[in-house]
Chains A and B, each alone.
Chain A
C-alpha cells in the first residue's frame, strides 16, 4: 500500500511537460549508435553518432557535442579509420582547451595514445599514457575505467616492445581486481596476455588452455573482434607447435570472422600467415 502511494506521488511529481523532439532525437540516435557499436557495426555506429552530433550542435549542447566527438573517435579507431579518429580527437581536444568541461582530459589522453598505437608510434603512445596511468608505487591505488584501459594498452605496448611484459601483465591483473564492476572483455584481455607470456616461455599446453578460456568469454559476450583475434593467436600457437592442419583451421576461422567485420587489413595479414603454413605443409 505504501509502495503504491509512493508510485502515485512520484507520478504526480514527474515531468508533465514533454521533452523537445530534438533532444529526444539526439538521445535516440546516441542510444542506437551505442547499440551498433556494441554489435560491432562500425559504419552504422558512425552514421548514427554523426546524426546525434548534428542534433547536439543544432542545440549548442556542448557536452553532447564533446561526447559525440569522443564516441566517434572510438568508433573510428575500432574501424581503423585513422583520419576520422584524428579529426574528431582534435575537435574534442580543442573543446576541452577552450571550454570549461572538466573530467574528460584523461579520456582524451587515452585516445591520443590509442591513435598513436594504431600508427605504430609506441613511444608517443607511451608518453600519452604516462599522464593517465595510476601511481603503482602507492600500496592502495585506485583505478577507474580510463586508467584500466590505459594499463591494458600499456601492457600491449610492453608486448610489442618486448620489455617488462610480465610486470605489466601483473599490474594489469592487480588493477583489474580492484576495478568495479567486473569487465568481461578486460578479463579476456588479461587471460590473453597471460597466454602470450606462457607461449613465449614455451608452455604451449597452458597457453592454449588460456586462449580457449578467452575464446569462451568472447563468445559468451559475442565480441566478434575478440573471437577473431583469439582464433588468430591460436593459429599462431599451433603454427609454433608445428600443428599445421590445426593452424590452417584456426586461420581460416579467423579470416571468416574478420571478413564479417569488414577488416580487410587483418584478413590480408592472416592470409599471409596461412600461405606460409600451407607452403610448409607441402
Chain B
C-alpha cells in the first residue's frame, strides 16, 4: 500500500523535470535543423535564386551552343546566365543575358561579349570583356557588341572544303611524289651537317677544326698584344707631351720675342721693294738686248748656210770630186727584191 501512496503527486513532479539524456537528444535534433537551414541558405545564395538581376542583350549570327541557362562570365567569374533567345531582323538572334546585381560592376561601358564555341563541345561560353575598369557601369538593357568564334562544325566544314579542293587538284598525289625528293633532300642536309660536324669544308673547319681554333686564338692574342702595345705607345706619347710642356712654355716667350723682331719688317719690305724695282729696270734693259738676239742668230744661220754651200761647191768641184751629179736619182731608194 505504500507503493500506491508514493505514486501520487510526487510521482507527477518527477515526470516534468527532463533528464540529462533527453536534453542532449533535443539539442542534437535542433542543431540538425539549424544546419539544414544553413545549407539551404548557402545553396540559395550560390544559385542567386532570390538576387535581383539586370538584363543586357547581345545579337549573334548563330545560336549554336547557346541555350537558356548558359553561364555568362567576366574576368573568369560567373556574372549571369542566358535567359532567353529571340529572332530579330537581319536573321540575327538576340540573346538576353541576366547579370546578377552583385556582379554588374564587371560590365562597363564599351564592353564586348566574346562567344567562344570551341572551349566546350555543344556549349558556348559567353565572356564579357570590359575595355576599361574606369569606365562607368553599363546601363541596364544595353546591347553589348559581340565577337563570335567559329564553331567546331564551321572549322570542320572549312577543312573538308580544303581537303576536297586539294583532292580535286591532285595535290595529295603531287605531295606524294615530292615525298621521296624531300627525303633525299633531308638526307643531303643530314650529310652536310655530318660533314660540318666532322670538320670538313670551310664552315666545318671554322666551327670544329682545332687548327682553325688555334689560329683564331693566335689572331685574337696578336690583336690583344697590338692593343697592349698601342696602349704603351699612347702612354709614352702622353709622357712626351708632359715633357714638352716646358718647351711649349718657352715657345710662348719665343713668340713674344719674334713679335718684337717683326716690328722691323715694314722697313725691310720697303727696301725689298726698292731692290725689286731696280731688278725690274735691269731686266727691261736686258730684254732690249735680247730682242736683238734673233737678228744675230739669223745672221749666224745665214753665214753657216753660205759656208755649207761653199763647202758643197768645193766638194763638187774638180779635182776634189769626180761625181758632180746631185740629182734626184740619189734620193731614190735602191730597188729591193721581194719583201718577206
Interface residues of A (CB under 8 A from B): 3, 6-7, 10-11, 13-16, 18-19, 27, 30-31, 34, 37, 63-64, 67, 70-71, 74-75, 77-78, 80, 107, 110, 114, 117-118, 145-146, 148-150, 152-153, 156-157, 183, 186, 189, 225, 229
Contacts and interface: CB of A to CB of B under 8 A. Distances in A.
B306 A18 contact: yes
Given A13-B317, A63-B328, A18 B337 contact: no
B313 A225 contact: no
Interface string B314-336: 10011110000000100111111
B320 A71 contact: no
A78 B331 contact: no
B338 A117 contact: yes
A189 B338 CA distance: 11
Contacts of B333: 34, 37, 70-71, 74-75
B314 A148 contact: no
A153 B328 contact: no
Given A10-B314, A14-B309, A67 B335 contact: no
Given A114-B339, A149-B336, 8 more contacts: A7-B320, A13-B313, A14-B310, A14-B313, A15-B309, A31-B331, A34-B331, A153-B337
A146 B55 CA distance: 134
B302 interface: yes
B301 to A, nearest CB: 10
17 contacts: A3-B319, A6-B318, A7-B320, A10-B320, A13-B317, A14-B309, A15-B309, A18-B302, A31-B331, A71-B332, A71-B333, A74-B336, A77-B336, A78-B339, A114-B336, A153-B337, A153-B338
Contact of B313 (A15, A64, A157): A15
B103 to A, nearest CB: 101
A67 B314 CA distance: 27
A110 B338 CA distance: 9
B305 interface: yes
Contacts of A19: 309
A80 B333 CA distance: 17
Contact of A148 (B317, B335, B339): B335
Interface residues of B, number: 23
B154 interface: no
B313 A114 contact: no
Interface of B: 302, 305-306, 309-310, 312-314, 317-320, 328, 331-340
B320 A186 contact: no
A152 B339 CA distance: 11
B309 A149 contact: no
A14 B314 contact: yes
Contacts of A18: 302, 305-306, 309
B328 A67 contact: yes
A78 B336 contact: yes
Most buried by B among A14, A146, A152: A14
Contacts of B314: 7, 10-11, 14
Contacts of A152: 337-338
B319 A156 contact: no
A78 B338 CA distance: 9
A22 B305 CA distance: 14
B338 A156 contact: yes
A70 B328 contact: no
B22 to A, nearest CB: 136
Most buried by B among A19, A114, A183: A114
Nearest to B340: A229
Nearest to A192: B340
Contacts of A30: 331
B170 to A, nearest CB: 60
A193 to B, nearest CB: 10
A117 B334 CA distance: 19
Contact of A11 (B310, B319, B334, B338): B310
A110 B337 CA distance: 9
Contacts of B319: 3, 6
B334 A145 contact: yes
Contacts of A145: 334-335
B338 A14 contact: no
B336 A10 contact: no
B85 to A, nearest CB: 100
Pairs of residues from A and B, 8 with the lowest C-beta to C-beta distance, nearest first: A14-B313, A10-B317, A152-B337, A149-B335, A153-B338, A149-B337, A146-B335, A30-B331
Contacts of A16: 306
Contact of B332 (A10, A67, A80): A67
Contacts of A74: 333, 336
B305, B314, B332, B333 pick with most chain A CB within 10 angstroms: B333
A95 B199 CA distance: 87
A19 B63 CA distance: 129
Nearest to A79: B339
Contacts of B309: 14-15, 18-19
A195 B12 CA distance: 180
Nearest to B327: A63
Q: Which of B318, B328, B338 has the most CB of A within 10 A?
A: B338
A43 to B, nearest CB: 16
Contacts of B336: 74, 77-78, 114, 149
B190 to A, nearest CB: 46
B302 to A, nearest CB: 7
A14 B337 contact: no
B313 A80 contact: no
Contact of A64 (B310, B328, B335, B338): B328
A31 B330 CA distance: 10
B299 to A, nearest CB: 13
